[in-house]
Chain A
Amino acid sequence: MNVDVLEIVELTVRVAAVSTGIVIVPSTLLGYALARHDFPGKRLLSTMTTLPMVLPPTAVGFLLLQLLASDGLLGRKLLGFDLALLLTWKAAVIAAAVMSVPLVVRTARVAFEGVDPRLEWMARTLGYSRAAVFFRFSLPMARRGLLAAVILGFTRALGEFGATVTIAGNIPGRTQTLASAIFQAQQDGDASAGYALMAIAATLGFVAIFSVEYLSTRRPARSRSKAGVSP
């Protein structure tokens, strides 16, 4: 087995962590807006953010490549300087972020939809502004669902391959993530490496899904204490 497992795992986790870090705040806000507000273009926005989930990852990779190429909209020729993202781990972050946004937004939206909007109105009658209500009430009340959103986004980023390999390549030490390393091991006929990497990927995935399950079904409401005693 001639793969540096530790290096691959470190890179993969780093890419997934940064990707999730970039994605979580805008996606939470967007999820809140979609859950609570009606505005012109809402359906269009919702569809656009879901798009990466339904497009093949290679299609998303293709689009990103056109964007970041030297003659693309974000390329050296138009911007005047080189973003230097292609074939670097930062490109892997971008690919992972784009692919995980739909999942995070969707999960965050569901989390906020699970919060009774009347509770937010109650907070407003108590003197909190809209922004204060969001931070002190909406977020804490939705925190389980939001944590699930983070975990799912992180897991999706961990497993991202198609778009990553297109704009970041499959360079060991620089952009070879767990997914691309497994692919490489299969191509090379390196079965032991393949199994080892697959075991790690399965473990990470298992832990993630288990956590999400745990969060969704924690602590059913306890029954009322001695009903009828005190009014």
Chain B
Amino acid sequence: MSDDRSKMAATASLAVTVSMPLDRFELDVSFATTHQVTGIFGVSGSGKTSLLEVIAGIRVDARGCIQQGEQRWLDTDAGQLTRSEDRQIGYVPQDGLLFPHLNVRRNLLSGCARAEARGVKVDEIFRTVTDLLELSPLLDRQVEMLSGGERQRVALGRAICSGPSLLLLDEPLAALDMSLRRRLLPFLRRLNEEFSIPSIMVSHDPVELQALCGDLIVLRAGRVIARGRPDDVLTDGAVYSVAEHGYENVLPGERLAGVVGAGRLRLVGADPPIELAVGSSDAPPGTRVYLGLPARDIMISRDRPALISARNIIPAKIVALRSLRSAELVTVSLGASTLELRVEVTSTTIETLDLEVGGQVFLSFKATSCRVYGESDRP
């Protein structure tokens, strides 16, 4: 199995330089990435879908160059254009695009011929995918009988079962309502961890991008305006107006056994270990989740607060200060790990508390401020 996995993960590099006229502007993009999951962020109409279609080979009117691993998919100067069916991609569009004349099982396996040709053992992948995406009860259903979330899971499964060397996810959860999206987040994470297929994920939801992507590209009107780690890029004033939306920290976590009415959560990768009080749920201990913590809901103090209603108090060290339009963003690191949080404060607070880089502080926030993503309400 690891052979197949490494085969699919082998060529993780993608270099794209394309330009193409669109309705209202010209798409003019150039980037290269070796990350496993690269995100593309932008508002509707910024060219994200067109870019993905060019990479997939669905649109063939772009000029430029696309190189994936050792394969050159597009080279306008050399007159080279690899056809879509030869590019070995898995494409997951917003609306799933399941084949209506096939049931779920056949949809999932519709790309298996290509997978077999690549030497991928389809039956094992099929089994793993149906387990991870919990598709077993749905296998014999007709497509028209699936709910939106079920459709998206099948679409994801189909893409993976086709043994691609690159996954293109075009806002895979956008067609679903918010709570559904939050619940599907762990499915995507599980797929990433299990298969490690290089992926390009387009989304306009910062929580998804922070949770899943190691690298983020921001598009506006067809051009790349920012590039970097998701939490850096998303707090860049040019990209994301903190004042309007409010920045939300997203960190991987794990449910712990809680008491009645109160839940506990462990931050993954924290050193020393950090446990937080969060809302309760019926999810069993060990469930992998994401913690969402709005920057505005965190309070900073120089000393450990004593009698305070917030149930979460953790020490941190200031690593950066950034000034935005009408607020200040303080970046802190937690312990010896690479985990970071951003806290939004007013400029007066910086002065009053005399906050500076390197300073030790305490963060306080309520259990109710913590949003937990990735748990279903199934028993």
Contact = CB atoms under 8 A, between A and B. Distances in A.
B180 A231 contact: yes
Interface of A: 116, 118-119, 121-130, 137, 140-141, 143, 221-222, 224-231
A122 B91 CA distance: 7
A139 B87 CA distance: 24
Interface stretch (B106-114, B285-293, B349-357): B106-114
A230 B85 contact: no
Interface stretch (B5-13, B146-154, B274-282): B146-154
A63 to B, nearest CB: 41
A143 B272 CA distance: 63
B117 interface: yes
Interface in B119-175: 134, 142, 144-147, 149-150, 153, 158, 162
A119 to B, nearest CB: 6
B184 A231 contact: yes
A92 B92 CA distance: 52
A129 B85 contact: yes
Contacts of A137: 99, 101
B114 A126 contact: yes
Nearest to A133: B85
A124 B87 CA distance: 10
A116 B96 CA distance: 13
Contacts of B158: 126
B164 to A, nearest CB: 8
B101 A118 contact: no
A226 B149 CA distance: 12
Nearest to A224: B147
B376 interface: yes
Of the candidates B84, B144, B376, the one having the most CB atoms from chain A within 10 angstroms of its own CB is B84
B359 to A, nearest CB: 42
Residue in A116, A127, A226 whose Cβ sees the most chain B Cβ within 10 Å: A127
Instruction: Give chain A's interface secondary structure class.
Output: loop
A220 B184 CA distance: 29
Contacts of A224: 145-147
A125 B147 contact: no
Contacts of B187: 231
A40 B90 CA distance: 34
A231 B149 contact: yes
B89 interface: yes
A125 B58 contact: yes
A124 B84 contact: yes
A230 B176 CA distance: 12
A228 B147 contact: yes
A127 B58 contact: no
A128 B153 CA distance: 22
A127 B99 contact: no
Contact of B99 (A141, A143, A229): A141
A147 B99 CA distance: 19
The 9 closest A-B pairs by CB, nearest first: A127-B114, A126-B111, A231-B149, A231-B183, A125-B91, A124-B84, A221-B144, A122-B97, A140-B101
Contacts of A140: 101
B145 A222 contact: yes
A130 B58 CA distance: 12
Contacts of A222: 142, 144-145
Contact of A225 (B91, B147, B183): B147
A126 B147 contact: no
Given A125-B58, A127-B111, A224-B145, A141 B101 contact: yes
Given A141-B101, A230-B150, A121 B84 contact: yes
Contacts of B184: 231
Contacts of A221: 144
Nearest to A140: B101
Nearest to B163: A127
B294 interface: no
Contact of B85 (A127, A226, A228): A127
